[in-house]
A and B are shown apart, each in its own frame.
Chain A
Amino acid sequence: METIERLLREHPFLQGLDDRQFALLAGCAKKARFAAGEYIFREGQEANASYLVRTGRVSLEVNVAGRGPVQLHTVEEGEVLGWSWLYPPYRWQFDARVVEPLWAIFLDGACLRSKCESDHDLGYELVKRLLRQVHQRLERARFQLLDIYRAGS
C-alpha cells in the first residue's frame, strides 16, 4: 500500500520539496476518490482544501441563469484544484464537477495555512507553486477571452 508521503512525492506540483517539507505536508494529506458526476465542492461553500489530481478530470463550472452550468476550465492529471483556502473569506468561487473518475490527494486548507504560518520556507515553496498555477490559468483565461475561433475574428 502506498503511503501518503510517497504519493505526495510523486505529484509534479510538489517536485523539489525536501524530506522535511514532505513530512510536514503528509500530516495535512489524505487520499480522495470521486465518481464521475459527483461535485467536489459548490460555489459559496467553505473552501477547505486543495486537491492534487493524480488521474481523472474535474470541470470548473459556473451556473448562468438561462444557460445552466457553463464549463470554464478542466483540471487534469498533474494539476491542482482549489486555492480559495489561502485567503479570506475562504469560499469556493465555482462548482467543481467530476467528469472522469478522480483519484486525488486531499490537502486540508486550515492545516496548510497553519503549517505555512509556522514554517515560512514551506509557505514560500507552496505559494510559489500555486502562483505558477494561477499564472497559467490567467494566461489561459486571457486567451479564451480573445475568442479566436469566432467567425470573422
Chain B
Amino acid sequence: METRASDPNGAASPAPTLPRATPVRRVIRESADTVTLELDNSVGRSFAPGQFNMLYLFGVGEVAVSISGGPVESQVLAHTVRAAGAVTRLLVNVKRGATIGVRGPYGSAWPIEGAARERLDLLVVAGGIGIAPLRPVIYHALRERHRFGRLIVLFGARRPDDLIYAREFNRWRAYPGVELRTIVDHGSSNWRGPVGIITDLLATTDFDHDDTLAMVCGPEVMMRFVRHALVGRGLPPERIYLSLERNMKCAIGHCGHCQLLPFFVCKDGPIFALPKVAPLLDMREL
C-alpha cells in the first residue's frame, strides 16, 4: 500500500527550509506536560495523516512535530507537543496569539486510502504521545465510516492522566463499528480500566487478520513488541505500518541527521511498512 503523500502545497518548493510565520490560534492543555497547538491555516495548506511539520521557535530552535488534527481542510493545523527537549519544553508554554515558524508538511502518510479501497478494518495501536500522528487517521475513519470496516483503537499510556484526548473518547466510541480500549502502566485509586501493557490489550482483542490494516506508533521498544504480537496473531507483515522517529533537522533528506541505513526517516518515512524496516528494528547499533 502506498505511503507516499502527494505534495499539494509544494513542500519541495524553491525554499523548502524557509519557515513561514504562523499565529497560534489556540492552546489546549492535554496533560501535565503535553499541549496541542492549533496553528492558523487560513492559507489552506493540506496534509495527509501521518505527515509532520517543522515548528520553529524563533531564537530557540526547530523540532519535527506530527500533525495531530483534522480534517485536512481545517482552518487550523493541530500539533500535539510534549515537553521532552530544549525546544519542546518552551513550545508547550507558547501562548495563544504568539507566532511560531512552520514549514512542511513533510514525510510519508498512513496508507488509509488503500485501506478504504479494500474496505479493511483499521487497527490503531498507540503508546503515549504516539496517539498524536494517529488521531488524523481516527478522524478520517470516523468522518468516512462507510469506507472502512471496524475501527479498533488500542491506546496505552503511563498513567490515566497521560491518556491525552480523553475528552474525545466518548464521541469516538459513539460511532458504529468503533472499539476504543485503553490501558495504563500504573493505575490510580479512581481508575477503573485495565492496568498492564499494550500487548495485554492486543491479546484480548479480536480482529480478522485477513482484513485488517494495523498502524502502530509509540516508543520503539513498544513497537517491537507489538510487531511480534501482531505477526503472532497472523497479520501479514505487509499490512503492518509503523511510524519511526529520528532526529529530523532539514526534513527534506539533505542533512542526514535522521538517516537509518538506506532511509532518511524525514523523506522516506516516518511511516514505513514493516517489511521495509523490520531488520532495522532488530539492529542494536541503530
Residues of A within 8 A of B (CB): 57, 59, 68-74, 76-78, 99-100, 140, 143-144, 146-153
List residues of chain A with CB within 8 A of the CB of B129: 149
Q: How far is the CB of A56 from chain B (nearest CB, A)?
A: 11
Q: How far is the CB of A98 from chain B (nearest CB, A)?
A: 11
Is A73 a contact partner of B158 (Cβ separation < 8 A)? no
Task: Please measure, in the bound complex, the distance between the C-alpha atom of A149 and the C-alpha atom of B219, giving whole angstroms.
Answer: 7
- Identify which of A59, A76, A140, A144 contacts B204 (C-beta below 8 A): A76
List residues of chain B with CB within 8 A of the CB of A73: 195-196
Taking the complex as formed, is B191 at the interface, i.e. its CB lies under 8 A from any CB of chain A? yes
Task: Please measure, in the bound complex, the distance between the C-alpha atom of A71 and the C-alpha atom of B127, giving whole angstroms.
Answer: 19
A68-B189, A70-B186, A74-B187 are known contacts. Are A149 and B157 too (CB-CB below 8 A)?
yes
List residues of chain B with CB within 8 A of the CB of A76: 194, 204
Is A144 a contact partner of B186 (Cβ separation < 8 A)? yes
Task: Please measure, in the bound complex, the distance between the C-alpha atom of A1 and the C-alpha atom of B263, giving whole angstroms.
Answer: 63
List residues of chain B with CB within 8 A of the CB of A74: 187, 193-196
1/0 contact string of B222-253 vs chain A (CB within 8 Å) = 10010000000000000000000000000000
Task: Please measure, in the bound complex, the distance between the C-alpha atom of A143 and the C-alpha atom of B186, giving whole angstroms.
Answer: 12
Closest 7 CB pairs of A and B: A71-B187, A149-B128, A149-B158, A148-B219, A151-B84, A74-B195, A71-B195
Is B197 a contact partner of A143 (Cβ separation < 8 A)? yes
Q: How far is the CB of A13 from chain B (nearest CB, A)?
A: 14
Of the A-B pairs whose beta carbons lie under 8 Å apart in the complex, a sample of 27, sorted by A's number, is: A59-B187, A69-B189, A71-B186, A71-B189, A71-B191, A72-B195, A74-B193, A74-B195, A74-B196, A77-B204, A78-B204, A143-B225, A144-B185, A144-B197, A146-B221, A148-B218, A148-B221, A148-B222, A149-B156, A149-B158, A149-B185, A149-B218, A150-B158, A151-B33, A151-B83, A151-B84, A152-B85
Task: Please measure, in the bound complex, the distance between the C-alpha atom of A137 and the C-alpha atom of B60, giving whole angstroms.
Answer: 44
List residues of chain B with CB within 8 A of the CB of A152: 84-85
Chain B, range 139-197, C-beta contacts under 8 Å to A: 156-158, 162, 185-189, 191-197
Task: Please measure, in the bound complex, the distance between the C-alpha atom of A37 and the C-alpha atom of B266, giving whole angstroms.
Answer: 49
List residues of chain A with CB within 8 A of the CB of B33: 151
Taking the complex as formed, is B82 at the interface, i.e. its CB lies under 8 A from any CB of chain A? yes
A74-B187, A76-B204 are known contacts. Are A149 and B195 too (CB-CB below 8 A)?
no
Q: Output the nearest chain A residue to B187 by Cβ-Cβ distance.
A: A71
Is B197 a contact partner of A140 (Cβ separation < 8 A)? yes
Task: Please measure, in the bound complex, the distance between the C-alpha atom of A149 and the C-alpha atom of B218, giving whole angstroms.
Answer: 8
Taking the complex as formed, is B200 at the interface, i.e. its CB lies under 8 A from any CB of chain A? yes
Task: Please measure, in the bound complex, the distance between the C-alpha atom of A153 and the C-alpha atom of B54, giving whole angstroms.
Answer: 22
